[in-house]
């Protein structure tokens, strides 16, 4: 210490106000990972709100786009798979089967793609402000969740209208079905966050990554039973049985079946899926051990989240200088 100015600790000084002598010296960048994000909920809330507002900033329709986009996509899929290809044959309320799945698939694809880009698209902040960087993928996931809400509203309306107008029973949400749907949402949240965390920092170091992710994300809607009934995969006529096990190991497929259990199955009058033929045979709606599978996948998802956090904290050190 060559020169240290003698500052007298008067009562108003910072040293006294903040009792700095008892604050330990700590690295300025130290964070406790994803837990820190929830400790700074206020900042997280502001960031989520910022993203939501910025999304449709300057558009005339504003939030209506959150309804228009999924609705048109639904109509397209319904037209092609339901009417043209007849994939809804032998199935009751194919439209609801499809749309229930789309809610979660859209939520998943959106959280992974926006999560992957989250660090790069916030590079202005990251290079200048010290804050837990887990914030960005988590915020992307929550913004995507926010955009799933309008779709969920469309889904509920569709279920109620189907029960009212159609021949089937009135749609009454049952406790098991709602718990299953909730589990479906939680699964997507956990996996979406885990992938978002891992991919976001990989994407900074290896920028081709978001294009690779995009390629795989485009496949996801076809790997879940929403445009076609589950039994097409399960009955072993088209694909060998062992591939079925891989198919149902997909957490998104599991989540889709869980939400269909909550919304689509209660709208059916009698067996939901009957395979046309002579004689027509009743087919399973979902994979056999739907709930226990869901819970096991949740545990795996939480482990994956831990892995995601580990990868993130290893890679994020070099993130600011690579932006």
Partner 1 sequence: MTTSIVVQDVSKTFRYQAHPTLKKVLQDRLRGEHAKGSFKALDGVSFEVQQGESIGLMGLNGSGKSTLLKLVSGVMRPDEGQVLVRGRISGLIATGAGFHNELSGRDNIYMNAAMLGMTKEETDAKFDDIAAFADVGRFMDTPVGNYSSGMFARLGFSVAVHVDCDIFIADEVLAVGDRPFKRKCLKRMKEIRESGITMFYVSHSAASVKKMCDRAIVLDKGTVGFDGDVEEAIKFLHYDGDDDEPDAEDEDERDEELANDI
Q: Which residues bind partner 1 (CB under 8 A)?
A: 1-5, 7, 9-10, 12-15, 18, 20-21, 23-30, 40, 42-43, 46-47, 50, 53-54, 57-58, 124-131, 207, 317, 320-322
Query: Using CA atoms, how far apart are residues 70 and 67, in angstroms rounded to an integer?
Result: 6
Query: Using CA atoms, how far apart are residues 135 and 197, in angstroms rounded to an integer?
Result: 10
Q: Which is nearer to partner 1, 5 or 242 (CB)?
A: 5
- Shortest distance, CB of residue 143 to partner 1, whole angstroms? 14
Number of residues written out for the chain: 323
Nearest one of 201, 227, 164, 161 to 313, comparing CA atoms: 201
Angle between helix 290-315 and helix 251-263 axes, rounded to 10 deg: 130
Q: Which is nearer to partner 1, 22 or 238 (CB)?
A: 22
Q: Which is nearer to partner 1, 49 or 275 (CB)?
A: 49
Q: Which is nearer to partner 1, 245 or 321 (CB)?
A: 321
- Shortest distance, CB of residue 215 to partner 1, whole angstroms? 18
- Shortest distance, CB of residue 53 to partner 1, whole angstroms? 7
- Shortest distance, CB of residue 3 to partner 1, whole angstroms? 5
Nearest one of 257, 256, 255, 280 to 270, comparing CA atoms: 280
Distances, alpha carbon 92 to alpha carbons 70, 265, 279, in Å: 22, 9, 18
Q: Give the distance between the most distant pair of CA atoms in the chain.
A: 97
Q: Which is nearer to partner 1, 57 or 175 (CB)?
A: 57
- Contact call for residues 253 and 223 (beta carbons, < 8 A): yes
Q: Which is nearer to partner 1, 57 or 60 (CB)?
A: 57
- Shortest distance, CB of residue 57 to partner 1, whole angstroms? 4
- Shortest distance, CB of residue 39 to partner 1, whole angstroms? 11
């Amino acid at each position: 210490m060559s020169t240290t100015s003698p500052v007298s600790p008067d009562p108003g000084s910072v040293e006294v106000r903040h009792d700095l002598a008892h604050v330990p010296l700590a690295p300025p960048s130290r964070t406790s990972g994803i837990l820190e994000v929830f400790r700074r909920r206020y900042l997280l809330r502001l960031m989520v709100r910022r993203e939501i507002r910025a999304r449709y900033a300057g558009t005339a329709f504003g939030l209506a786009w959150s309804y228009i986009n999924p609705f048109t996509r639904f109509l397209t899929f319904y037209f092609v798979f339901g009417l043209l290809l007849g994939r809804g044959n032998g199935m009751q309320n194919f439209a609801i089967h499809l749309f229930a799945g789309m809610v979660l698939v859209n939520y998943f694809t959106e959280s992974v793609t926006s999560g992957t880009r989250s660090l790069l698209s916030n590079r202005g902040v990251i290079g200048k402000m010290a804050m837990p960087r887990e914030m960005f993928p988590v915020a992307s996931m929550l913004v995507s969740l926010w955009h799933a809400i309008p779709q969920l509203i469309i889904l509920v309306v569709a279920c109620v209208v189907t029960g009212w107008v159609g021949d089937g029973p009135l749609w009454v949400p049952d406790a098991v079905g709602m718990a299953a749907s909730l589990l479906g949402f939680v699964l997507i949240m956990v996996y979406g966050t885990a992938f978002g965390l891992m991919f976001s920092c990989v994407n900074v170091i290896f920028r081709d990554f978001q294009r690779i992710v995009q390629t795989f994300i485009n496949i996801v809607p076809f790997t879940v039973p929403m445009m076609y009934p589950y039994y097409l995969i399960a009955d072993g006529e088209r694909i060998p049985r062992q591939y079925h096990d891989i198919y149902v190991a997909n957490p998104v497929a599991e989540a889709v079946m869980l939400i269909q259990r909550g919304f689509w199955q209660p709208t059916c009058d009698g067996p939901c899926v009957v395979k046309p033929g002579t004689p027509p045979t009743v087919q399973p709606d979902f994979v056999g051990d739907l709930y226990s599978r869901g819970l096991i996948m949740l545990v795996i998802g939480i482990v994956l989240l831990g892995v995601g956090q580990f990868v993130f904290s290893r890679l994020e050190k070099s993130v600011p200088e690579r932006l």
